[in-house]
Amino acid sequence: MKRLEKNEALCIGCRSCEAACATAYYKTDDSAYACIRIEDGNSENAEAEFTIHVCNQCGKCAEVCNTCVIQPNAKGVYMIQRKECVGCLMCVGFCPEQVMVQSDDREEPSKCIACGICANACPTGAIYIVED
Amino acid sequence: MINICNVARYQGPTEEELKKLRDSHVLLSSFEYERTPLFRGYTDKILTIDVGTKEASVADIPAEVKEKFIGGRGYCLRYLWDAVNPETRWDSPENEIVMSSGPIGGITQYAGTGKTLIATISPLTDIPIDSNVGGFFGPYLKFAGFDALEIRGKSDQDIVVVIDATRQTVTFEEAPLEHFDAHILCEELTALYADDENDKKNIAVVTAGSAAEYSNIAMLNFSFYDVRRGTTRIKQAGRGGIGRVFRNKGIKALVCKVDKVKGNLNNVYDIGIINKTGLRFHREMVQNDAKQNDMRGVGTSYSLRTLADYDLVPTNNFKFGDAPGIDNMTAKVLKSDWLTQGAADGCWYGCSMACAKASDHFLLETGPYKGQRVCVDGLEYESASGLGPNCGIYNPRDILEINFYCDTYGIDTISYGTMTAFLMECYERGILNKERTGGLDLTWGNAADDLEMLHQMSRNEGFGKIAALGIHKQKAYFAEMGWGDLSEMNDFGMEQKGLEYSEYSAKESLAQQGGYGLTNKGPQHDEAWLIFMDQVNNQIPTFEDKAEALFFYPMFRTWFGLMGLCKLPWNDIVPADNALTDDPKMVPEHVENYKNLYYGVTGQRITTDDMILQSERVYDFQRIFNIRMGKGLRADDAIPYRAAGPVFEEEYLSRQERYDRQLVEIVGLTEEEVQGMSVQEKMAATRKYREDQYQTLIDTVYRKRGWTRNGVPTVEHLRELGMDLPELLAVVEPLLAAEEA
């Protein structure tokens, strides 16, 4: 299974990951369009100053989709078949990490496809792609 | 607990079976049309289908109709009015079935936005019935280019009418081999008209069922394709016998086919505000549903035990409001043993409330499909309580089986439940016996004979023919046969205007007695559900308070029916901070959502007063429509006494402490006086008090609604509403003059 993993203790809050993701898929550096979300503070990890919300390919988005257009590919990465998506946005609302993107310019939302662009942009290695 | 991931996909008809069906179809006529694209929620076109002449035509919907009637139920009633005359009855060729979604109908981003509204002259009530239903047809009709569909005439052969948006055609086809029962027919037609498996979700079917041809309590099934289960599911436009009108017209099914569904087929004014509003609601569902009513887990049946705790679930024909057997039907039991969990059970896209639950691979034990495993759509609250406790049945398995057969035969579960409860009480009282029922033992709780009666109804045999009449005509028949006393049956036969009551016991809520009695179509709770507000929370103690509620809520709820919206997402789950708002019972944040959706779709800002005005225009139009058809005055708003108080001694005695206390605390007798009275005397005093209260309530509500003491909307009031239309004045003016004289 391929997915994005995180080591929050290494995050310096530069938000390069958000900008890289938003730029790659929405041609903007507005973090609202990123499939990764950095939050100030971390209540669960004393060593971390920031919380990193990433898609862990949990599949909740696929579970709530009543058109079944979100399916895992061979590597376990959940992909949206845009052509068949009706744009109901339930996947966006139900995402446990709130890292799916909805844009008024597009009829379908988007999600993390574990492409690694954000990981490449991270200067500290706080996020990285794993494949088991 | 059954999870959707463990539910095997259903198998539809085979290629060989489909070929046989396809080969048997005869094309009777075909019409081409040019699809009008939607603009801000409207196409401003109506499709008229004459099944007698097998012709289709498209007409513009005039701007003044749009302004006054908005869409949905408003359009249905407007076009029905124009089609019929005061002598029209349910089976007259000119009677129409009109369907319309509404301007918001068909958006995909918010919960409960796929409703279709339907109206026709009812075989039960002889006045307009309106009913609303989920499923795909209403939105697909819009995507095909039509805000409304009117069906007139009668076909002398069984036909399927296909509205194909991909080809922009309407075809009339003879379809002799398809099954009549909805669960199979919907599968067959979905497979037949879909290009492939993936295309099945683009097909919507409307059909009735095998009992609909004979039964006044027949409904319409609206399909939606469940991609995950691999089967068509069905939702029901239940009330008032629309299915019988459908079959009487010779229609086997309507099919609507679209090429695809996307998020902005309504071509709305501002998609951004719709997206934002939808997302806000979805996130609320994630946060609050499990903590509140668990609609996603159990659907509307979540409330059975809670309502019974307040004595509100009708048991044994509304005699009582609770029974220990309801413990067998709690949310916990339904969830753990019967209803599939984890499924995206919305009956239209974007419904994160997802209350369209199902029991999967349910093994049938009776009837023509005995031994087969099927998908049962349910249990919804009304079906569960009406088919269950109201008939003394408490085993969810039995109730699910009755529910399944009602659905597939095309029988309204609410009318069937309330009617069977009436028949069981007739059996208990000796009005019926085995000889008169042809051997059916209709004692409370006898699910086997209940099911047999239902099967007989589908075959139009034996006592099933009597059951098919509905309570109103059964009472007259039993009296005519000398089996029972009509006035006694009028007390406990739970119908009004000819329509069977839906499933709440209103004895301790005067406001809800009005909520049922002062409805346009007959006693259905969709206009006003005031029991908690009135009985439990005591928020509307005075007549004026109740009248205000009986003005405001029927109007507010009518608005959902103008728009193509489901009411449940309004207040079945509420924002976490709702209790802190100025008016928690109105769920202000959700009302704001609806205003935003209306704005987002149409580009027009709207206030709550505007919403009420839009509704009141249609509401009063429907009232006058009733009067025009001969059943819309004060006398027709009378209710059976069982809806207001204890008819027989056993009911009084079962809650004696409560009733005795009320005689002292509310009626004003002394404790000594009450102690000295016989049960019959106490019942008479209770009855007099409650019946007087209801009459006072009627006076107050009519005044509030701008109607006379006889229930006629005044000319001044119609003028204020902008509804002083000549055809309405022609109905009310003679009555107003007579009342004045």
From B273's Cα to the closest Cα of chain A, the distance in A is 9
Determine, for residues A89 and B282 on separate chains, whether the beta-carbon distance falls below 8 Å. Answer: yes
CB pair distance less than 8 Å for B345 and A66: yes
Identify the sign of the CA torsion B556, B558, B559, B561: positive
**A-B contacts at Cβ under 8 angstroms:** 71
How confident is the model at residue B469, as a pLDDT? 98
DSSP chain A: -EEEEE-GGG--S--HHHHHHHHHHHSS--GGG-SSEEEE--SS-TT-SEEEE------HHHHH-TT--EEE-TTS-EEE-GGG-----HHHHH-TT---B--TTSSS-B------HHHHH-SS-SEEEEE-
Separation of alpha carbons B312 and B315, rounded Å? 9
Are residues A107 and B283, on separate chains, in Cβ contact within 8 Å?
A: no
* Two domains, one topology: B271-500 and B510-573+607-639+704-740: no
Cβ-nearest to B282 among A84, A94, A107: A94
Q: Give residue B689's Cα distance to chain centre.
A: 32
Quick one: DSSP state of residue B62? P
pLDDT score recorded for residue B694: 98
Contact with chain B for residue A64, Cβ under 8 A: yes
pLDDT in tens, B656-684: 999 999 999 999 999 999 999 999 999 99
**Burial readout B345-360 (b: 16 or more C-beta within 10 A, e: otherwise):** bbbbbbbbbbbbbbbb
What pLDDT is recorded for position B526? 87
Q: Which of A63, A84, A88 sits opposite B350 (nearest CB)?
A: A88
Give the nearest chain A residue to B283 (CA atoms): A93
The confidence band for B370, taking pLDDT boundaries of 50, 70 and 90, is very high
Work out the average pLDDT over B444-465: 98
Collect all residues with Cβ–Cβ distance below 8 Å to B658 and sequence separation of at least 6: none
The rounded mean pLDDT for chain A is 97
Residue among A87, A94, A102 whose CB faces B108 most closely: A87
Nearest chain A CA: its distance from B83 CA (Å): 37
**What whole-number distance in Å separates Cα of residue B573 and Cα of residue B590?**
10
Q: How many residues does chain A have?
A: 132
Residue in the structure block whose two tokens are 């076909």? B155
Beta bridge partners of B28: none
| Fold classified for B13-257 | Aldehyde Ferredoxin Oxidoreductase;  A, domain 1 (3.60.9)
Burial per residue of B514-535, b for 16 or more beta-carbon CB atoms within 10 angstroms, e otherwise? bbbbbbbbbbbbbbbbbbbbbb
Quote the pLDDT of residue B527.
87
Per-residue model confidence as pLDDT tens digits over B187-238: 999 999 999 999 999 999 999 999 999 999 999 999 999 999 999 999 999 9
* Mean pLDDT score, B392-408: 98
CA distance B148 to B46: 5
Q: Please check whether residue A106 touches B, CB under 8 A.
A: no
What SS3 class is residue B109? coil
User: In angstroms, rounded to a whole number, what is the distance separating the alpha carbons of residues B709 and B529?
Assistant: 24
- Quick check: A90 and B271 CB within 8 A? no
Nearest-CA distance A62 → chain B (Å): 10
| Percent over 90 (pLDDT), chain B | 98
DSSP 3-state assignment of B211? coil
Both structure tokens of B182: 């909805």
Interface mutation target, options A86, A97, A106, A107, chain B, most CBs of B under 10 Å: A86
How far is B23 from B27, CA to CA, in rounded Å? 11
Which percentage of chain B shows pLDDT scores above 70? 100
CA angle, B55 then B59 then B63, to 5°: 160
Segments making up each domain of chain A, as ranges: 2-125
Residue A68 with chain B: CB contacts under 8 Å: 227-228
| pLDDT tens by residue, B519-549 | 999 999 988 899 989 998 899 999 999 999 9
**What pairing do the DSSP bridges indicate for beta strands B159-164 and A37-40?**
unpaired
Could you state, in order of their start, the residue ranges of all structural domains in chain B? 13-257, 271-500, 510-573+607-639+704-740
> Can you give the three-state secondary structure of B264-319, one letter per residue?
CCCCCCCHHHHHHHHHHHHHHHHHHCCCCCCHHHHHHHHHHHHHHHCCCCCECCCC
8 Å CB contact of A102 and B261: no
**A99: its two tokens:** 């890292």
Q: What ranges in B585-655 are assigned the alpha helix state H? A: 588-602, 608-628, 649-654
Q: How does the average pLDDT of chain B come out, rounded?
A: 97
Tell me which architecture the domain covering B510-573+607-639+704-740 has in CATH.
Answer: Orthogonal Bundle (1.10)
How far is B596 from A130, CA to CA, in rounded Å? 43
Q: Out of 1.10.569.10, 1.25.40.10, 1.10.260.40, 1.20.140.10, select the CATH number for domain B271-500.
A: 1.10.569.10
Strand partners, B171: B30, B162
What confidence category does residue A132 fall into, taking pLDDT thresholds of 50, 70 and 90?
confident
Asked if residues B73 and B562 have their Cβ atoms less than 8 Å apart, the reply is yes
ipTM for this prediction = 0.97
B31-45 tens-digit pLDDT: 999 999 999 999 999
Average pLDDT over residues A108-127: 98
The tens digit of pLDDT for each residue in B166-195 reads: 999 999 999 999 999 999 999 999 999 999
Q: Domain A2-125: give its CATH code.
A: 3.30.70.20
User: Which pLDDT band, with edges at 50, 70 and 90, does B443 fall under?
Assistant: very high
